Amino acid sequence: MKMKTASTLALGALSTAILLSVSTPASAQSRSGFALNRFEPAERGSQFFVNDTLDLRGDLRPALGATLDYGYKPLVAYDANGNERSAIVRHQLFTHVGGALVIGDRFRFGLNLPIAVYQDGESTIVNGERFKAADKAALGDVRLAADVRILGEHGDAFTLAGGLRAWLPTGQRSQFTGDGSTRLAPQVMAAGDLGPLTYAARLALVYRSRDDAYAGSSLGSEMLGSAGAGLKTLNGKLVIGPEVFATSVFTDSRSFLKTRGTPAEWLFGLHYDLGDIRVGGGVGGGITRGYGAPQLRALLSLEYMPAYERSDRDKDGIPDDEDACPDAAGPRDPDPKKNGCPVVAEAPDADGDGIIDSEDACPAERGPRTNDPNTNGCPDRDKDGIADKVDACPKVPGVQDADPKKNGCPPDRDGDGIADAEDACPDVPGVKDAAPKKNGCPPDRDGDGIIDSEDACPDVPGPRDPDPKKNGCPLVVVTEKEIRINQEVKFKFDSAVLLPESDAVLDAVKQVLEAHPEIKKVRVEGHTDNVGKAAYNKSLSQKRAASVMKWLTDKGVAKTRLVSQGFGQEQPIDSNETDRGRANNRRVAFTILERNAAPPP
């Protein structure tokens, strides 16, 4: 890289003469660069380099490609007489790698990654400012794009689309590959085919947050315009023709549509399709000396984009979305219901239901069309979609069932013979019952809400209990020898003091004694397990039995009908070797000592 100074020097890339004073490298201040390259490739899938042929067909249709872009002298310094003094950027070789994805025949999203793989040039000093040359490979500003087709379709005489491009600040200003800030460009595009001619154009406003200048020329927001036209031949595989593109800084009246702020270029290129592969080549150069417009530009491209084909399963030349019979080849017909259908002679239909006799399972009875050859054209009186000939309940709408005896009958999930609509328990087999709330539910003879199969006392109402042996049983049951309680009488630990939760069962014992005056004498018994000393346990059991007796007499039971006795651990009813057994042994019992032969009338 060389360094030059000049007394009268101008940056020719800006195409204006700027009088310069001699400066030395030691005192010069460096001037930062900007995104120099004016070539912006179209989104992948276009048959032009810069302009877009708007092939937004397909759903999830991809396009991938790379463009090799060489520019010769895109940024040159000239003296006041227009003579070249130095090329700040002499050679600039970019590769643009990118892809696009078309969605829903209308939307497209694109990505372009520019990479400067080689650059060189000569630094120079102008009016005490050092303009450093590009001298190394660098990443450019990544471009994102989103477009939508507004009018027309690809191949029409006129197709219109709009979109937005955004450049992310991934490039390097020092290497002239980036602006250092985000750029945005809303755009509108048009394209079309007129016989063998194809054309495309683009108009965009490029917002740049930079408002500084480079060698006296503004770097502000720009208006972008481009156009291309070509000859499309070889069945559309080859497109060859010119393109032009230019930008102009519209935020500075001294630059707008003036040479210094309006770099413009021409290209002549061709693109050729080899199946799903598209190759391209082009050459061009600057029309003006605006910055970024090289004296020579050369392009090579390679892209992959699968060909778009409208589905035509029967290969009759009529796309499936227009073909009324997409799986049977037939001619075109102005009637959409017949278009693409094979021409057939009228076939006999004896019952006039629209199903020819050869396909009608019931040719003498009118019926609807079905997919089942055995029922096609057969009547279905209950309109449940199951032909009467296979419907076990032909007059009542039902559902299909593998069991011929149930097919077409109302659903009965639990198989108890009671239709779900009338079954109060549709998922549990049950029995018929005149009460709608019980119909179809499992039997519950005592009506306590616990089905007989889970009820330990199915003929006597009782509450639920987690113990299967007590579930559905009353708190108290009178037998010949005892008043059996099904709930534990609870005391404070190591005490004869009754806990409040014992009130319910003791109250039930009281009610039994009141309801059975023939029971003359009952012994309230206290029992313990074998934990602890036997004498202590017996004393505690006696106290607890007496406490229960007192509770009953306090509630109105005559003392003459009760006695209490503690047995301690002497009369176990279960093993004392387990926790459950010991819990069963800790109990209060009510033994009947005297009773009349029968209750009084």
Reported as a single tens digit per residue, the pLDDT across 366-407 is 888 888 887 887 888 888 888 888 887 888 888 888 888 888
> Of 25-29, 147-151, 187-191, 528-532, which gets the smallest average pLDDT?
25-29
End-to-end distance of the chain based on CA atoms, in angstroms?
A: 131
pLDDT digits (tens, 9 = 90+) for 100-113: 999 999 999 999 99
26 touches 98 (CB < 8 A)? no
Beta strands in 293-425 (DSSP E): 296-304
225 touches 250 (CB < 8 A)? no
Query: CA-CA-CA-CA torsion for 90, 94, 113, 107, nearest 10 degrees?
Result: 110
Query: What kind and span of H or E run contains 538?
Result: helix 534-554
Name, of 19-33, 74-88, 207-221, 285-299, the range with top average pLDDT.
285-299
CA 476 to chain centre: 61
- CA dist., res. 504 & res. 499, Å (int): 11
> What integer pLDDT is reported at residue 404 of this predicted model?
84
- CA dist., res. 273 & res. 304, Å (int): 10
Query: CA-CA-CA-CA torsion for 454, 457, 458, 462, nearest 10 degrees?
Result: -90
352 class by beta-carbon count within 10 Å (0-12 exposed, 13-18 middle, 19+ buried): exposed
pLDDT digits (tens, 9 = 90+) for 557-569: 999 999 999 999 9
Binning pLDDT at 50, 70 and 90, where does residue 468 land?
confident
pTM: 0.53
Binning pLDDT at 50, 70 and 90, where does residue 20 land?
very low
Residue 92 pLDDT > 60: yes
Query: For residues 21 and 188, which has the higher predicted lDDT (pLDDT)?
Result: 188
Which of 85, 71, 72, 91 has its CA nearest to residue 11? Answer: 85
- CA dist., res. 567 & res. 539, Å (int): 8
Binning pLDDT at 50, 70 and 90, where does residue 80 land?
confident
What does the pLDDT average to over 238-249?
95
Residue 163 pLDDT > 90: yes
Query: For residues 319 and 530, which has the higher predicted lDDT (pLDDT)?
Result: 530
What does the pLDDT average to over 524-529?
94
What does the pLDDT average to over 111-130?
88
Cβ count near 151 (within 10 Å)? 10
Beta strands in 137-233 (DSSP E): 138-139, 143-151, 159-167, 183-194, 197-208, 213-214, 217-218, 222-233
What does the pLDDT average to over 330-351?
85
Considering the chain, tell me which residue range(s) the CATH 2.40.160.40 domain(s) occupy: 3-304
Binning pLDDT at 50, 70 and 90, where does residue 215 land?
low
* Average pLDDT in the chain: 86
Binning pLDDT at 50, 70 and 90, where does residue 257 land?
confident
pLDDT digits (tens, 9 = 90+) for 401-439: 888 888 888 888 777 878 878 887 888 888 888 888 888
> Of 206-215, 219-228, 493-502, 517-526, which gets the smallest average pLDDT?
206-215
Binning pLDDT at 50, 70 and 90, where does residue 73 land?
very high
**pLDDT above 90 as % of the chain:** 52
556 touches 529 (CB < 8 A)? no
Query: For residues 110 and 358, which has the higher predicted lDDT (pLDDT)?
Result: 110
Reply yes or no on domain 3-304 having CATH 2.40.160.40. yes
Residue 237 pLDDT > 70: yes
Considering the chain, tell me which residue range(s) the CATH 3.30.1330.60 domain(s) occupy: 475-595
Binning pLDDT at 50, 70 and 90, where does residue 259 land?
low
> What integer pLDDT is reported at residue 18 of this predicted model?
32
- Ramachandran sector of residue 494 (left: φ over 0; alpha: ψ -120 to 50; beta: rest): left
492 class by beta-carbon count within 10 Å (0-12 exposed, 13-18 middle, 19+ buried): exposed
**pLDDT above 70 as % of the chain:** 92
Q: Tell me the sheet residues that pair with 244.
A: 227, 266
The 8-class DSSP code of residue 189 comes to E
93 touches 67 (CB < 8 A)? no
CATH number for the domain formed by residue range(s) 475-595:
3.30.1330.60
Query: For residues 68 and 261, which has the higher predicted lDDT (pLDDT)?
Result: 68
